[in-house]
Copies of this chain bind each other. A is one copy, B any other.
Amino acid sequence: MSSQTINVREDLRAERRQLADAFRQRMKDAGTFVVRLLSSPGAGKTTLLQKTAEILTRSYSVGILVGDVETERDAERLAPYAPSVQITTGGACHLELPLIERALPKLGNATPDFLFIEDIGNLICPASHELGEHLRVIVLSTTEGDDKPGKYPKAFRTSQIVVLSKTDLLPHVPFSLDKAQEDARLVQPGLEFFSLSALRDEGVDAWCEFLKQRRASAVE
């Protein structure tokens, strides 16, 4: 690889970082707290967002942008709970900021109190793309195995929160909450953890309280 190639890449990266920082600041100024969810396919992001929106909309405005390779399924599932816009990438493995900027006006209220971004189900590629969120959350389900943090380190290294989802299945799967946390902390010691079952409505209240507090300290 020539040094010219490297410089172009670094310039591009720096430019993207600046755009993300500008977006983050703009949303903060508008009082919008941006929470982004990463996970494998089927880890439970959409179910968690349904329950989260159900609780938060009692006192806050909420908007959801949801990414998928194909189909409008997730936005249809989320629409009863909060304004939701589907972003389909038609093959691409991650969301990028220009897609977010383009989808945002379609929410109606483009600066809700909480803006959730559900990224494409993929533990690898999205971690390398900055969307200007205030909080990056990984959802790791108990059915995926407690060895995943070390195997997909970048997603865990760049996040602040891990939601250990589907805890209702713990009696039936070989998964240790302690081991998963240990493994994730080896990658990133500052990670915070929530264990919950969105399907059974266990732990979602505490998760929503946490989000309210984080929003208050970040954008109010």
Q: Which residues of A contact B (CB under 8 A)?
A: 40-42, 68-71, 73, 91, 93, 120-125, 141, 143-145, 147-148, 150-154, 166, 168-169, 172-174, 199
Closest to A77 in B: B147
Tell me, rounded to whole Å, the shortest Cβ–Cβ distance linking A99 to chain B: 16
Closest to A142 in B: B143
Interface pair A121/B123, CB less than 8 Å apart: yes
Q: Which residues of B contact A69 (CB under 8 A)?
A: 124, 151-154
Interface pair A42/B143, CB less than 8 Å apart: yes
Within 8 Å by CB of A40, from B42, B93, B166, lies B42
Interface pair A151/B93, CB less than 8 Å apart: no
Tell me, rounded to whole Å, the shortest Cβ–Cβ distance linking A210 to chain B: 25
Extra A-B contacts (20), CB below 8 Å, given A70-B153, A71-B150, A120-B124: A40-B41, A41-B145, A41-B148, A42-B145, A42-B148, A69-B153, A70-B150, A71-B147, A71-B151, A91-B154, A93-B125, A121-B152, A122-B122, A122-B123, A122-B125, A124-B125, A125-B125, A143-B143, A168-B172, A169-B169
- Distance of A84 Cα from B120 Cα, bound (Å): 31
Q: List 5 A-B contacts (CB under 8 A).
A: A69-B154, A93-B125, A122-B123, A169-B169, A169-B173
- Distance of A111 Cα from B172 Cα, bound (Å): 38
Q: Which 8 A-B pairs have the closest CB atoms?
A: A42-B144, A143-B143, A93-B124, A40-B41, A40-B40, A42-B145, A71-B150, A71-B151
Tell me, rounded to whole Å, the shortest Cβ–Cβ distance linking A198 to chain B: 12
- Distance of A42 Cα from B39 Cα, bound (Å): 11
- Distance of A19 Cα from B166 Cα, bound (Å): 43
- Distance of A199 Cα from B169 Cα, bound (Å): 15
- Distance of A70 Cα from B169 Cα, bound (Å): 27
Tell me, rounded to whole Å, the shortest Cβ–Cβ distance linking A120 to chain B: 7
Q: Which residues of B contact A199 (CB under 8 A)?
A: 174
Tell me, rounded to whole Å, the shortest Cβ–Cβ distance linking A194 to chain B: 19
